[in-house]
């Protein structure tokens, strides 16, 4: 059976698009901070690797475990560390961005369920392109200093 050229072109374009989607981000070392029952917030951390040739922008996130998930960054403002909400987190082409205590991270606000150590939380990342990537992040006890179970690259 011979396929028309326009159909072959459409199939080829679809495969290229699917390949690009599959390579958007590699998510490693994801974890959510365990908090005492009744706590209104927690934080999520992970390593985001972009194997692609173009920057990827993380513009939002969601989770059934929280009413809202916001992108945040700690920054030095006049000698005082302050946490601020940011509109996006850029993962450079061929690079890595670490979401870790004291730096970039996600805040889970208005927790809708207890975050018990040893369980996991579903998080859906929203990219500027409209694509989403879902992951299940284990809930762990995480130290404020950023000392947890993996090494970090710093900007």
Q: Which domains does the chain have, with CATH numbers?
A: 25-140 (2.60.40.1890)
Q: Measured between alpha carbons, how far is 106 from 32 in angstroms, rounded to an integer?
A: 9
As given in the structure block, the two tokens for residue 37 are: 């029952």
Give the per-residue pLDDT at 14.
40
| Per-residue confidence in pLDDT tens, the chain, 155 aa | 555 544 444 444 444 433 444 558 999 999 999 999 999 999 999 999 999 999 999 999 999 999 999 999 998 888 888 999 999 999 999 999 999 999 999 999 999 999 999 999 999 999 999 999 999 999 999 876 444 444 334 34
Do β-strands 66-77 and 80-85 pair in parallel, antiparallel, or remain unpaired?
antiparallel
Give the per-residue pLDDT at 10.
46
Beta strands in the chain (DSSP E): 26-33, 41-49, 56-62, 66-77, 80-85, 89-91, 96-99, 104-111, 120-127, 132-140
Q: Per the confidence metrics, is the pTM higher than 0.85?
A: no
DSSP 87: S
Q: Measured between alpha carbons, how far is 68 from 85 in angstroms, rounded to an integer?
A: 12
Contact status, residue 106 vs residue 70, Cβ threshold 8 Å:
yes
């Amino acid at each position: 059976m011979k396929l028309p050229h326009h159909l072959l072109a459409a199939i080829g374009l679809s495969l290229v698009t699917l390949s690009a989607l599959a390579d958007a981000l590699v998510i490693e070392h994801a974890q959510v901070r365990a908090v005492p029952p009744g706590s209104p917030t927690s934080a999520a951390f992970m390593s985001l690797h972009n194997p692609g040739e173009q920057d990827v922008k993380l513009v939002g996130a969601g989770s059934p475990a929280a009413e809202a998930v916001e992108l945040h960054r700690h920054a030095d403002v006049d000698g005082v560390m302050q946490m601020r909400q940011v509109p996006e987190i850029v993962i450079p082409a061929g690079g890595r961005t670490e979401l870790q205590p004291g730096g970039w991270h996600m805040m889970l606000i208005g927790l809708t369920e207890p975050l018990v150590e040893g369980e996991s939380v579903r998080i859906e990342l929203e990219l500027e392109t409209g694509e989403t990537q879902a992951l299940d992040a284990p809930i762990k006890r995480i130290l404020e200093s950023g000392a947890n179970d993996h090494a970090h690259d710093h900007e």
